[in-house]
Structure 1
C-alpha cells in the first residue's frame, strides 16, 4: 500500500488534501461529468474567475483610452438642478481639453458629465455596477461596461484616469473620494489631483477634517493640501492640466504629504 493511500492523501494540482478533505474522483472527471447540481458556480474559486474576467474585460476595453478624468457625483441629482448643469459644463470642458470623461455610467451627475463630453465630441465612458435595483448605463455613454464587483470597477476608475473631480454626492461619492485621497497620500498614484467641486457642499467636510481629524493628529499637516476646492469649471480643468508638471502645486502637495507620514 502506498504512503498516500495509507494516510488518505491526494494531490489536486498544486493543492494537497489529506484525511477528511480528500474527495472521490478527479478534477477532470468532475468537469466532464455533466450530472449533478450547479451549486459550484457560486463557490469562491469560481468567483475568482469572474473577478479575473472583470479585470480582463476592463483592461481590454480601456487600454487605448486617451488621458482621462473620472467624475463622481450623485445619481439622484435631477436634470433641472444647477449641479447637473455644472457637471455637463465640466464634461464638455474636459473633452475640449483633450480628456476622456469616465463616470459610473448612471443618472444624475454621471449622466450630465457623460452628456457634456459626448456633445463636445469627446470620449464618454461609463463604468456601471450591478445593483439590487435596476440602473442601466445612461444614453450618453459611448464606451461602457457593467461590473459585478465594486473593487474591480474602482480599480478602473483610478488606473485609467489622471485626476478625479468629485461633484456633490452621497456614500458612494464619499467612498471614492477617500479611496482616492488614500492612494495619493500613500503615493500609490502621483500627480493625481482630487478636486472637490462645490464650495458650499464640501466646506463642512473640509472644516471637520481640519478642526477634528487633523487637530487630533490623525492626518498630516499637509494632507488637506491634496484636495482642491472650487466652484469654477475652468479652474478645475486648469488645475488638472497644470498637475502634469513635476513642479506643479499638486506635485509639491504630494511631496509634502509624504514627508508628513509617520516613520515607524
Structure 2
C-alpha cells in the first residue's frame, strides 16, 4: 500500500493498522518518530525519499524499516512523479539553460555521469516514480494518443489543424496524450487545454510570432507560458492526484531527446529519462486510439511500435483504432501505409487501421470515450 500524503499516513496510524508492507513516498516524517515507534517492529515498512531527520531514520532502521534517501546532488527529485509545466520551466526569466528541464538534460548527457552506477539508479527510480503516478493519473480515462513531428510551425495551417483535433477530442471527453514536445505535439496539447474554440484561436494568435523553438527556446517557451496563463486564467493548479477526471491534456516527453524542449500546454507532464519506457508507455496507454499526423523518423518509429501489438492481438481482443492522417504524406513522401496494410492483411488489425485525408475524418473513427 502506497501512502503519498501526511493525511493518509495519519489515517492509517489512527486506525492502528499494520505498517508492514506500507510504502511511505515523499513524506516529511520530522514529527512522526514517536508515532511510528509506538508500533514496535517496523520490519517491512519502506520509506521512499522525503524528509527523514537522523533521529527518525535511526529509529526506523533499528526497528527493521528500509529507507531510500532523497538524492542531494541530482537536478531532479527521483521520487516526485509527474510535473507541472511551471516545475520544468522555473527560472526561465534567466534563460532556458537555467531551468530544471535544461539542467536535467545536461546532467543526463554528461559523459562522466552517463554510465555512473549511482546516476543510473537515480534515473531508474525517477522513471519508475513517473510511471507509478502516471498510471494513477490516467486510470479510468479514455486516452487518445496524437503523434506527429516536432518541426511543425505555430503559424502554419497544419498547426491550427492539429490544435483543432486536440480540442475536438478533449470536448468529446478523451484525455489527449502526446509526446509532449514542440510542433504537432504542442498543437494537440494546446487544443485540448483550451475550453473553447475562441480561446484556442486567441492562443494560437498569441504564440504565432515565435513559430518554432529554434534558435531560441527561451522566447518560444516564454511566449507559450504567457498564452497558457491566459488560457487557464487565475484558477490555481489542482494537485496531480486529484486532476485525473478533469484533465484534458497530457504530455509524455523524454530527456533522451532533450534538444526538443517540452511544451507547456499540458495539464501535467510525465517526463522520462528512458525513451524506450516513455514511448512504450505512451502507446500502451492510448486505449482510445492513436492518431498519426505528418512526421518523419521518430513518428515512423511510433507507427510501427503501435502496429506491433495490433499485429499480435488475439482474434477476440478489442483493438483501438490507428488512424494515419494525410494520404499523400503516408503513401508518397513517407510511404509506410503499404507496409502497414501488408501486415494487417488477413488479421483482426485490418479493421483497426485507417488512412484518411484530413483531421475532419478522425473523430468518427474513434467514437465516444471507452476507457
Return the TM-score normalized by structure 2. 0.48
Counterpart of 1:78 in structure 2 is: 153
Structure 1 segments unaligned to the other structure (5+ residues): 1-38, 245-264
Contact 2:331 2:337 in 1 (8 A): yes
Q: What is the alpha-carbon distance in structure 2 between the residues aligned to residue 57 and residue 105 of structure 1?
A: 14
Alignment of 1:64-213 (within 5 A): 64-65=137-138, 66-120=141-195, 123-131=248-256, 134-162=259-287, 163-187=289-313, 190-204=318-332, 205=335, 208-209=338-339
1:27 paired residue number: none
CA contact (8 A) 1:51 1:152 kept: no
Cα separation, 1, equivalents of 2:319 and 2:344:
18
- Aligned to 2:295, the other structure's residue is in SS state coil
Q: 2:354 aligns with which of 216, 225, 228?
A: 228
Q: Which residue of 2 aligns with 1:35?
A: none
CA contact (8 A) 1:184 1:190 kept: no
C-alpha deviation, 1:80, in angstroms: 2.1
SS of 1:136's partner is coil
CA distance in 2, matches of 1:220, 1:146: 32
CA RMSD of aligned residues (A): 3.0
In terms of fraction of residues, the more strand-rich structure is 1
Query: What's the CA shift for 1:242?
Result: 6.6
Deviation per CA, 1:128-154: give whole Å up to 9, x if none.
111465332212122102211111101
Q: Does 1:240 align with 2:358?
A: no
Query: Residues 144 and 40 (structure 1 numbering): CA distance in 2 closer, same or farther, change over 3 Å?
Result: closer
Specify the alignment match of 2:9 in structure 1.
Answer: none
TM-score relative to the length of structure 1:
0.66
1:59 to partner: Cα distance: 3.0
Greater CA radius of gyration, 1 or 2? 1
In structure 2, C-alpha distance between the alignment counterparts of 1:147 and 1:207, rounded to whole Å: 30
CA shift in 2, pair 1:153/1:52, >3 Å = same
Q: Match of 1:57?
A: 130
SS, match of residue 70 in structure 1: strand
